[in-house]
Amino acid sequence: MAITELLLHPVRLRVVHALSGGRVLTTAQLCERMPEVPKVTMYRQVGLLVEADFLEVAEEHRVRGAVERHYRLRPNRPVVDADAAAAMSLDDHRRGFVAAMAVLIAEFDAYLDRDGADPVADGVSYRQGTFWLSPDELAELSGELFTVLAPRLANQPAADRAPYLLSPILFPTETEQEHPAEARS
């Protein structure tokens, strides 16, 4: 299964999010985090991620005669790189965006359903803004964002840290022909 096909599925994408940041979870723990996903579906999706070398078994334990596997993301897992993204059709990009939004909505709902959820105290933000950028300015902005975020990606879980989901979405909202004449000067 191609990496884009693998990740364009909302449950598989949620599993990847759940295991990010070095977390190790069992399928049962994944089911607890996503109670709306039937257990059979969860086991099937985890199996597909293992078969595709996206997940690996971190450890195994015998529990009441059965083997309980703890999964983690493989450090050298496949990624959707620039070449894979360029090979995607417009429909693939549409499906990818829908899957990403479904995951974002499900994760936000799960957050709000937790005891003690406090969006203000937790620094929750879902603001949007429009930037007028040339192709060079867009490339510069992307580089600056990566420079700011890259060191934080190396953070490991700690007692004083909570995992935060950052989901930047960037796309042009108008074609060049739709820009007002005064904005193009």
Assess contact for 95 and 80: CB atoms under 8 A.
Answer: no
Contacts 24+ apart (CB under 8 A), 49-57: 49/6, 49/12, 49/15, 49/16, 51/1, 52/1, 52/3, 52/6, 52/78, 53/77, 53/78, 54/6, 54/16, 54/78, 55/15, 55/19
pLDDT value of residue 177: 60
pLDDT value of residue 21: 78
pLDDT value of residue 183: 54
pTM for the full predicted model: 0.75
10-residue stretch averages of pLDDT, the chain, 185 residues long: 81 90 91 93 95 92 87 87 88 89 88 92 90 93 93 87 84 70 54
Please give the span between the terminal C-alpha atoms of the chain, in angstroms, as a whole number: 47
pLDDT value of residue 10: 86
